[in-house]
Amino acid sequence: MALIRRIAGLALLIAAVTAIAVFGTGADGDDDKVATNFTVELDNAFGLVDGADVKIGGVRAGKVKTLRLDKKDMRALVDFEITATGFDDLRKDVKCETRPQSLIGEYFIDCNPGVKPERLKEGATIPVEQTETTVPVDLVNNIMRRPYRERFSILLSEFGAGLASRGDDLNETIRRAVPALRQVDRLLAILADQKRTIRNLYENADKVLLEVANKREDVTRFVEEAKDTATAAGSEEDGIRAQWNTLPRFLGELTPTLRRLEETADAQIPALRNLNTAAPFIEDLANTLGPFADASRPANRTLAAAARTGRGAVKAARAPVAELRKGVDDLPEAANNLAISLEHIDDPRFAVEKDARAGRPNGGYTGLESVLRYFFSQSQAINLFDANSFILKVSLFLDRDCANYTDAEMIKSGRSPDKCRAWLGNSQPGILQPDFTKTGSASQRASRDGEGSDDARKRDGDSNDGGSEDKGSDAGGKDGNGSDSGSGGPGGSAGGVVPKLDDLLEDALPGGKPDLPNVPAPQTPEAPKVPAPSVPRESEDLLDFLMGN
């Protein structure tokens, strides 16, 4: 049935084209239009006369005006004009040839307008390379008559030597002289390109004829309807002629659209290539969707049941949603006010105070920038870092009693709880023992720190007696050698003072410490006074900014 429809459509198209050709050939360019002139160069203008027809695409569109001879190339120059509307749009690749119009020797020029985008300007000359000439049949027949036959034999004999090395030129001449040979070559090329189609046509011809024979009633009805269509088309001769007259304008307007469509198609090529690359993955996805759809059927059924259950909840929610809608009606105004407030806070023109560090000549930091700057300054104030490490200047204490700073006096006085102490034994400098880092003699340190040390020992239960009577020396006195012993020598522990180097030498050396010569101390030269380098104000501001001052 589909094959019959195709055949019917093809036959209807042929009938319509035939009717249009019959009723549309009357458009002979009688419109009030300015003629467009062109010139065509021909090898032979045999049969052409002034007033001969000029056809464009098989439609009579103009006539020949004059015939001239180009004495330089010995070729015919034919001037013609186009008077029909819409047929003067010739292109750079236009092809023209002379054809016989009747058996009495009348000829006309038939031109193919071409397809290139470049238009042929008015008055331009169509070169001979784009023309063809038909050899008249009567001239071919005249060769068989005497004396032309003998002359032709002589010419062939003489041309044998002259054309022996010019086979290509002779082939081109024969092809240009005999249009039938060119058409045969074109036909053979088309048949070669369509050989597969022709083979399929031979194979399917019997099937088509069999289907047509079985549907002869449909074919008969089609012929009858085609006859009615042709009759109706014949009654609309004026409308069809007007339609054909507007066809060139329509084609002219269609050309830019087709050009844009071609550009769009070219632009789609990369996307199509990507789609071709992704086609296997899409195919795998499509193959996977089937099992996925099967597996999702229970979930869909459950969802449908939940939807039926939730339908009542949705209906019941209409009233609360309406109330909520009333509540949000004023939100746009509140949002506008919030936007105005935020824009005001973020505007440097409304800065609270001017600050040169903001980088603005007449303003300071905005409100939002000030908030961000506070956190930035705090982060810089409590953090130290260099190329190798980061240090956080904040310590976290979980015990509030031990969080405060504790010095030696607070420990001695008992104001610091015992749980906050990190004991290092019974010899804690400055607490249980004198602070050896302080300046002065051992007796001075013992007298200065002894009271605090005794209090600490009594508080901690340390009863180290006898240390003050060792070797008969008292605290703050001198020993038998006349040197300060502090706490009675290294063996004693009165006051717990760390022995000095002099005491150790007296005990270690026989006969006591020898007297050292009185050598004056060397004078250290004063260092030259170098003025302190001046620090730019910008650097000080930068340091203050980084340290959070």
For the stretch 238-287, pLDDT in tens is: 888 888 888 888 888 898 999 999 999 999 999 999 999 999 999 999 89
pLDDT band at 17 (very low <50, low <70, confident <90, very high): very low
What is the domain range of residue 105?
31-135
Q: Give the domain-ending residue among 104, 135, 166.
A: 135
Higher-confidence residue: 204 or 522?
204
Out of 135, 169, 190, pick the residue that ends a domain: 135
Given the DSSP bridges, would you call strands 95-100 and 131-133 parallel, antiparallel or unpaired? parallel
**Which residues are CB-contacts of 392 (< 8 A; sequence separation ≥ 6)?**
382, 383
Number of folded domains that form the chain? 2
**Per-residue confidence band for 8, with pLDDT thresholds at 50, 70 and 90:** very low
Decide if 26 is inside a domain.
no
Domain annotation covers residue 43: yes
Judged by phi (left if over 0) then psi (alpha if -120 to 50, else beta), residue 548 lies in: left
Rounded Cα gap, residues 243 and 250, in angstroms:
10
Dump pLDDT digits (tens) for 431-458. Answer: 777 777 765 555 555 555 554 445 544 4
Structure token pair of residue 302: 């459950």
Domain-embedded: residue 497: yes
Q: What is the pLDDT of residues 333-368, one digit of tens each?
A: 888 999 999 999 888 888 888 888 888 877 788 888
**The two structure tokens encoding residue 306:** 């939940």
Which of residues 290 and 460 earns the better pLDDT score?
290
Burial class (CB within 10 angstroms; exposed 0-12, middle 13-18, buried 19+) of 387: exposed
Choice between 28 and 252, residue whose per-residue pLDDT is larger: 252
- The answer to whether residue 53 sits within a structural domain is yes
Classify 234 as helix, strand or coil.
Answer: helix
List CB contacts of 434: < 8 A, sequence separation 6 or more.
Answer: 445, 446, 448, 449, 450, 453, 495, 496, 497, 498
pLDDT, position 419: 77
The end-to-end CA distance of the chain, in Å, is 95
464: in domain: yes
CA distances from 189 to 75, 174, 177, 185, 210 (A): 31, 19, 20, 6, 31
Determine, yes or no, domain membership for 432. yes
Among residues 68, 101, 135, which one ends one of the domains?
135
Element housing 479 (H / E): none
Answer whether residue 502 is part of any domain: yes
The confidence score (pLDDT) of residue 484 equals 42
pTM passes above 0.75: no
Structure tokens at 140: 């071919």
Q: To the nearest whole percent, how much of the chain has pLDDT over 70? A: 70
Give the whole-angstrom CA distance, residue 391 versus residue 173.
99
| Residue 398 falls inside a structural domain | no
Of the pLDDT bands very low, low, confident and very high (cuts 50, 70, 90), residue 379 is: confident
Kindly give, in sequence order, each residue whose CB lies less than 8 Å from that of residue 148, ignoring residues fewer than 6 positions away: 142
